[in-house]
């Protein structure tokens, strides 16, 4: 248990930040999952439209260090290739 006032504040801040990070991470993963479902369904128009939103979610997660910048680039590249390969 934290004893000092500043340690108590750090615990509160850490909990708040963890909750915020969890929200960003889950929203990113949900957007990616929905994009993959659209690709599997063969709906290229919907998948292309969703790609912009997925990019935004991935970039925001990378900006606040939820995922690494290189990981974000790799994910965006793979998802773009997935959408472009659709017939």
87 residues of the chain, pLDDT tens digit each: 899 999 999 999 999 999 999 999 999 999 999 999 999 999 999 999 999 999 999 999 999 999 999 999 999 999 999 999 986
Distances (CA, A) of 27 to 1, 30, 67, 74: 32, 5, 13, 18
pTM for the model: 0.87
Hey, which CATH number is domain 5-84, 1.20.58.110, 3.90.105.10, 3.40.50.170, 2.40.430.10? 1.20.58.110
Q: What is the pLDDT of residue 3?
A: 92
Interhelix angle 44-63/5-41, rounded to 10 degrees, is 160
Question: What's the confidence (pLDDT) of residue 1?
Answer: 86
Cα separation of 31 and 27, whole Å? 6
Number of CB atoms found within 10 A of residue 15's CB = 10
Domain chopping of the chain, boundaries: 5-84
């Amino acid at each position: 248990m934290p004893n000092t006032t500043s340690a108590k504040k750090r615990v509160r801040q850490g909990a708040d930040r963890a909750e915020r990070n969890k929200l960003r991470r889950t929203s990113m993963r949900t957007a990616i999952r929905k994009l993959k479902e659209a690709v599997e369904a063969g709906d290229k128009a919907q998948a292309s439209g969703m790609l912009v939103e997925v990019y935004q979610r991935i970039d925001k997660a990378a900006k606040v260090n939820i995922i690494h910048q290189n990981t974000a680039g790799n994910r965006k590249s793979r998802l773009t290739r997935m959408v472009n390969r659709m017939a």
